[in-house]
Amino acid sequence: MMQPLMIAAQRLAEALRAENEALARLDLAEAAELAAPKRQASDAFAAAYAAARGSDTRAEGEERRHAEEIAGRLRDLSAENRRLLERAIDLQSRVIETIAGAARPAGPGTYGERGGARDGRAIPVSLTSRA
């Protein structure tokens, strides 16, 4: 019963490693594409863990050493994943704030005395050009 759990743990570790690499490069598009496989690997690991726990099977000897090794690896990869996700979210928040700040009007009266939009809202403008 431990073999399916070990396979699921390895699959989850690989999914976390791949997403971490994308996040470290700040390749957020690739990281987003890897979210579904990571979620599937996580669900498979949770199901395999529940099945192993329900069977009351224990790892012994070399299998136990391997289980402890993969558990440590998953712990480290998960911590790194969390750190990298928080960094990506922080970076995206800053980008959005910068764009929103640049799009915000400078303040009331930005179009001059007769230009209207004194309350800070933009008014529609149409421009044409002849070549």
DSSP states of 83-97:
HHHHHHHHHHHHHHH
Query: Tell me: the pLDDT tens digits for 56-65?
Result: 778 788 888 9
For residue 95, give both structure tokens: 């980008």
Nearest to 32 by CA among 102, 100, 89, 112: 89
Structure tokens at 126: 């149409």
Pairwise CA distance, residues 50 & 52, whole Å: 6
Min mean pLDDT across 10-19, 47-56, 87-96, 119-128 is at 119-128
Residues 39, 12: Cα–Cα separation, whole Å: 9
pLDDT digits (tens, 9 = 90+) for 77-118: 999 999 999 999 999 999 888 888 887 766 555 555 555 555
